[in-house]
Structure 1
Amino acid sequence: MIYTKEFIPQIASHFSMNIIPDDWSGIDAVLPIIERIKCDGAVFIIKIDGERGDDDNGPYSILVFGKPLGELCISTDAHNLDDGLTYVIGTYANHVWGISQS
């Protein structure tokens, strides 16, 4: 499944969190959602690898795993942080919270 950045504000709205604009960027905008994931008992990791470049899968590795996911680990490598966060948070929201992108 491919998620768009507009799905992130939809997730925040589902939990009556502060409004996240459709053109959000960076970790600060999604930190309340990441905190919610943590409260579920999951582990959320962001790795920024300066040794990887454009020829690789990108410098950002993002993954979430733990109790609410059972044996599943959601992970991605991305060339920009926003795309990686969108994929991992979107997949988690769909799998654990049952929220689908509209």
Structure 2
Amino acid sequence: MTAPIENRTRLRGTVLGRRPHPDVARWDVLTLDAAAAEPVDGWTDLLSGARGQVEVNVDASDLPEGDLVGWIFVGVVRVVGSGAIAALPAAAPGASTTLSPPDGPILH
């Protein structure tokens, strides 16, 4: 198996669920109902046009605690191999993940 080329896509969707990653302790898996996937300037885009249910690995320390069902996820993600998608960590250059509760302000 080879790793995919470096890539970035801006993904927007509603959180359907959250669970710990089965293999990577620092990650949580967000199940999203993807509403939009758009290219990021200067990067290869492997997910543009993605719609429907997708799972995104997110560094758990970048997420608020608790149930996120119904929250809106907007962030830069990348395909990391074997169809797995990961959000850029908050400290990474170009990262801009936000989570917005159903009725409230945007949280970073």
TM-score, normalised to structure 2's length?
0.25
More strand by share: 2
TM-score, normalised to structure 1's length?
0.26
